[in-house]
Amino acid sequence: MSKLDIITLPDPVLRQMCVPVERVDDALRRLVDGMLEAMYEAPGIGLAAPQVGVSRRVIVLDVSERDGEKNPIVMVNPEIVRFADERRTYEEGCLSIPDVKVEIERPAGLTVRFLNRNGQRQELDASGLFATAIQHEVDHLDGRLIIDFLSRLKRDIIVRRFKKQARIEAE
């Protein structure tokens, strides 16, 4: 697969509800490999398929230490089935909204069901940064972005800035 580019706001693909994956096959694994490559190159800790222009329910994550051994996780059709009662606040960034950070309070833990890169059903408990990253990427699959946690005024300012930047780049 050729190198995947990470798309940015205001691309409308970022606002689409993604469709479930019906079959885990070699084409999907090539997509996943390209997503991991793009995520590591960015660098980031998570990436959802719509961020590379593919409206499918696929995310990749790796919250391991930057200098340590890579521990990529692929989730196809992820479904959060349980949230912890405890909540935690993280400052989140997004590869599709560069240079924007938003403090977001989310459940501190969760249980997620998904298919792995081989199509096998998995269930995983996650907490801390890993749980936050899963929620962030699943939001992408539903067309939700970190700026949706801001006031309308702040969100509109950011969207206008990215629209202006896109017009300038198109000239």
pLDDT of res. 33: 97
Q: Which residues are bridge partners to 127 per DSSP?
A: 109
What pairing do the DSSP bridges indicate for beta strands 121-127 and 109-115?
Answer: antiparallel
Residue 170's pLDDT is 87
**Which domains does the chain possess?**
12-170 (3.90.45.10)
Percent of the chain with pLDDT over 90: 92
Per-residue model confidence (pLDDT) at position 2: 60
The per-residue pLDDT for 56 is 97
User: What is the residue type of 7?
Assistant: I
Report whether 40 contacts 3 (CB < 8 A): no
The pLDDT value given to residue 165: 92
> DSSP state, 21?
P
Positions in the chain whose pLDDT score sits under 70: 1-2
Instruction: State residue 82 phi and psi, 5-degree precision.
Output: -155, 140
Cα–Cα nearest to 21, from 83, 77, 67:
77
Backbone angles phi, psi at 102, to 5 degrees: -135, 130
pLDDT at 58 (0 to 100):
98
Q: Which positions are annotated as active-site residues?
A: 137
3-state secondary structure (DSSP) of residue 107: strand
Q: How many CA atoms lie within 13 A of 123 on its CB side?
A: 3
What DSSP character marks residue 97?
A: S
Residue pair 43/87 in contact (Cβ under 8 Å)? The answer is: no
* Region for 66 from its dihedrals, namely left if φ exceeds 0, alpha if ψ lies in -120 to 50, beta otherwise: alpha
Q: What is the pLDDT of residue 65?
A: 80
Tokens of 125: 């408990």
